[in-house]
Structure formats: structure tokens, C-alpha cells
Structure 1
């Protein structure tokens, strides 16, 4: 089926020119052909040329800057660059998972405009395509078209990350020997220290780039933990699973433990201090089941919007509450 041609309609100015032309034609019928030549013919030429120009014009192209990924509640600015053969007004579209402001701009034959978006909840969201109102150079006709898109820009919102409650800290502590009574001190990192000993959460709060090392009276022997996340197919369960996996991984990273994650949309290995790939995977994943070779060390299952963590045949419900760690984790 051939693509439909956008309807070309007269603007108010175009309607005014048509009215003047009709009036001049009626007057010219009684006043002579000279009146027709002076008013009617130029007006008809202008109307025809404007309609043809707009009919033959290609849809505008819109290229957008890709906003930096982030967490719910954060804001980003997007720059849109428009190329159009005729004057146009652009109205940008955005998925409902993000808030967008100042989406309409008049850019003439092309130009740039910016707008702000706010991240609302985990997921991957598309920016565009834009609805564009094009007019001819004289402003006599208009049409509404959808911008031509090549690779639409997307906004990526990471899952929320929370501190683990007491029960989960004790459960996950089997990997990190998380005995708070054995904590000794934090000190500056030196080249001979193991990356496993870096306290990533405390280091992220420092204004400089120096690391802090946590010293404990005893240490765990685990360097890598496998975390498998599964969820029902509803959005709330997938969100709960992603937030739980991210929170468990962040806690393990605090103690220098590498996390191997497997979720319905893929898998990745995230060493401490390198979490962007893990967060991108968890931002995109949906619900579903995961095939594993055996029982994972940490198993997260979410149903009805609530996640449960299973480890060593013990089940602990994940309670999301309090302030999120957010940017601190990727600092």
C-alpha cells in the first residue's frame, strides 16, 4: 500500500488571499481584464506555487542527543537538531515513562532547540518521532507530517537501589563475612591492597578520587557471587526483581565481591566499581524465567510486585524502603 500523502490545507493568511482573489475576480468581471491581471493572476500564481512547494517538500529530519542514563527522579536535557526544506514548527513526542517539558519549538527551515526530561520509573524509553507542522515560504498553506527518523534516541532509567535490611544483610553476609562487630577501620588505599578490600560506598562519598579500604577482624573467602533474577511478566514484578538484584549487587560491591548476574534479558559480570553494564541490563530486562545449570548462589524471584531472595534454602522478602542510593553507586 502506498504511503498516504499529508493533506495540504490553507492557513489563515492563505484563506485571506483566496478571499481577496475571489473578490478581485468578481470586481474584475465588471471592471475589465486589467483588474484581473493586476490582482487575480499574481494571487493565483502565489497560491499555486506555495501549494506545489509544500506538496513536494520532504518531511523534516530530527536528530537528538542521547541523554545520559540515570535513576528515577533525575533530570536530563535533550538537544534536538532539525533540518527542513520549508519553515516548520516541531512538537516532540516522548514515552509516558518520562516527563517532558517545552516540547514545541518553531525552527524555520531548521535549527536547534532543547527540552528537559524527568525520569519517572525504570525502563528504556523512546524520544520521538516528532509531529511537525510545515508551511510554505509565504505562509499560505500548511500540513502536519511525522519527522523522518533514522535511529531514534532512547532514555535509559536504572532500577532503584536500596540498602539491604537487617535480615538480608545477615543472609548475604555469608559471602562477605559481614560481621559489623569485626569492623576495624577505614584507611587510604595503597598499591599492595586487593581491589576486594576497597569499600566502594565510602569511597564514592569522597570529594577526590582516592579509595578507602575497609579492615575487618575477619574476612570472607568469596570473590565472585552468582545472582539470578526471575519475575512474573507484569511490570511491577519485573521492577521489583531488578531493584532487588541491583541492591544485592551494590551491597556485595561494597565489600569488593564481583557479581555475575543472569536475568531474563541477558547476563553480565560486574566487578566492583564497574556497574554501568549491570544497571543497563537491569533497566531493560522484562519478567520471565531463566535457565541455569544448577542452583544459583543467590536467587531472586518476584511475583505480584514483591521480591524474595533465596540463599542456602533460606527465603527473605526484600523490603524496598528508605532513600535510594542512586548516583552514589556509579560515582
Structure 2
């Protein structure tokens, strides 16, 4: 009977039984037989049911990664040899908003609750506490699981400001010297860049012609370094995510160095970029040879968000990080693009 406690309904039943005992002492044993004995039997049955209940196994499913403002669903399924009604209370970290308390049937449909992502980072869910109740709701027994799972929240991603976007576009577009061998001339179209126009040949014709080059199969590679003083890691992550996302979307390979380490990202690998920057903290990295440098200073008087000053240096020119509107992200999930599940067997709480 260890750990078994009466519910409010059980306490009310105990009070009624106690009243019946008092009445029996005053008016005779019939009131005891009519009221107190059925209540006593029900309470004993409730205690026996909970004492024989195996600790329910908890199957947790966590939502995929997303940026602040996104929503996801946490699912907790309970399984045991004996069905029972239970109240589930999950532990929710400060970086997520939601109501992690509800009722579930052990062996039935899972308990689910929505969460809203608020802050960048790796946020740990759990442990969950399961309060199993008997069929009459007279008593309950707590079980606690030590299993935890995490939800990854990406940094916010913006469209870069016009000056930064122009510098990034110029950096990511290979020059003639970096291209493959010359292939042929063709007629100019509106989508062609004027720098591709072959002016000498165009002067001999009525229409503009442009140069075509042999595709060597490899796009440009840009190195980016991101550093942040203490208290400015979030702003650094947002700036690096904004710049890196724009480069990857343009088909550029990005080699990123941050205080969390170094990684090379192929075009389109925006999920890997954001997953890396979701975990990064403050710190300094060597950026002498980087094509793009992101630096975020500590809060303390700057005009930007949070009082910090963040700059982006592109090919030697330093510009303020003054982003445009938020990007609408289409994410595939966590690092592997899937939701994750965790199985755990709770322990009995004394």
C-alpha cells in the first residue's frame, strides 16, 4: 500500500464512513452495516487495485524542430497490463509554452498537448509524473519517470537588409576567372546578367550576345565565422542564420565556424545550419580569413534589439545587421528530419 493516497472523493467517503461509525455507536450497528462497511470495502478494493498496478510504460513523442513562434504537439502514451485512469503532468521548460497536464487512460489514446516555441536552444521535456487512480476515483498512486526528451528551437531567420544582400550576392556569384572554360556565345535574354555580355561580339551584331561557360559541377564555397560576447549569443545566432540561410538558398556551399565548432554545409542544407546555430553559445573564433564575419557585442547601449550591436562583414566591408522581415521557414524536423520517441517505465513514488 506504499505511496497510495486518497483523492478528495476518497476523503469524502472516509468522512461519511467516520460519521456512520459515530452514528453506530449512538444508535446501534445497523447504520455501520448500511454505510460504513460498503465504503470500507470500496476503499480496500481501491487500495488493492492500485497496489497491484504495474508501473505504466511511458511512450513519448516530441515535435520536430522549429523557429520561435512555431507550434508542435507533445504526445504521451501510457501502457500497462491493467487499465487505469491517470492524470499526467509533464515538466515543461521555460523556453516552451503550453499546458502539460491532463487525463489519459492507461492503455488507451495518448495524452497530447500543444507547445509554442519561445526561445532558441535545446529545451528538455520531462520527467513526467503519472497519478494513477482506481476505477471509483477514491485513491491515487504516483509514478515518476526519469526519461527526458528535448525539443530543438532554431534561431529566428530574417531576410537580410538590402546592403547585406547585395554584398552577399556579389560574393556568391563567381567571377569570370573562377568559371569553367569558355563554351560558346548565345543570344542575350532578360534573365542574363550584363556582366556576361560579350561586348566586342555584340558590337558586330544587331543584338546583344552573352558568353556561356562550361559548368565544372562545383559551385562557390564561402567561409563564414560567427562570434559573440557574453549575453549576445542569440543575436549572433540570428545574424548567422540569416546570412547562412540566404547563401545556402542561392546554391552556395558554406563553411561555418562558431564557438560550437566548424561544419561545412551543402546548398539547401538549411536544417543543419539552423540546428547548429540553435545550440551555439557565446565565444570567439578566428575570423581573419573568413569571407563573411558575424560579430555580436554584449548588451549595453547599442540601438539594436536587446541593446547589443551586431555587424556583418562581407568581403572586407562591415555593415550593421539590420534585417528585414522574418522568413517563413519550411522545416523537415530535427537533425534527422523526424519526430522522436522515447520509451520509459516510471518508478513508484513513495
C-alpha RMSD of matched pairs (Å) = 3.4
Using the size of structure 2 for normalisation, the TM-score is 0.68
Report the CA distance between 1:27 and its aligned residue.
Answer: 4.2
- 1:154-211 deviation line (CA, Å, top 9, x unaligned): 32222222222233234334422499xxxxxxxxxxxxxx9xxxxxxxxxxxxxxxxx
Q: What is the CA–CA distance in structure 2 between the aligned matches of 1:328 and 1:17, rounded to whole Å?
A: 55
1:306 counterpart residue number: 309
Residues 1-331 of structure 1 aligned to structure 2 (within 5 Å): 8-29=4-25, 40-54=36-50, 57=53, 60-83=56-79, 86-101=84-99, 103-111=100-108, 112-143=110-141, 145=142, 147-150=144-147, 152-177=148-173, 215-218=192-195, 223-234=220-231, 237-290=232-285, 295-303=289-297, 304=299, 305-320=308-323, 322-327=324-329
Is the Cα contact below 8 Å between 1:230 and 1:302 reproduced in 2?
Answer: yes
Report the CA distance between 1:39 and its aligned residue.
Answer: 5.2
Q: What is the CA–CA distance in structure 2 between the aligned matches of 1:104 and 1:122, rounded to whole Å?
A: 24
Q: What is the CA–CA distance in structure 2 between the aligned matches of 1:55 and 1:167, rounded to whole Å?
A: 69
- Structure number with greater CO (CA < 8 Å, separation at least 6) is 2
The DSSP-based 3-state class of the residue aligned with 2:43 is: helix
Distance 1:76 1:12, change over 3 A: closer
Q: What is the CA–CA distance in structure 2 between the aligned matches of 1:283 and 1:177, rounded to whole Å?
A: 28
Unaligned runs of 5+ in 2: 181-190, 197-217, 300-307, 333-350
Distance 1:88 1:259, change over 3 A: same
Q: What is the CA–CA distance in structure 1 between the aligned matches of 2:18 and 2:331, rounded to whole Å?
A: 70
Is the Cα contact below 8 Å between 2:154 and 2:275 reproduced in 1?
Answer: yes
Q: What is the CA–CA distance in structure 2 between the aligned matches of 1:99 and 1:39, rounded to whole Å?
A: 47
The DSSP-based 3-state class of the residue aligned with 1:281 is: helix
1:198 counterpart residue number: none
1:188 counterpart residue number: none
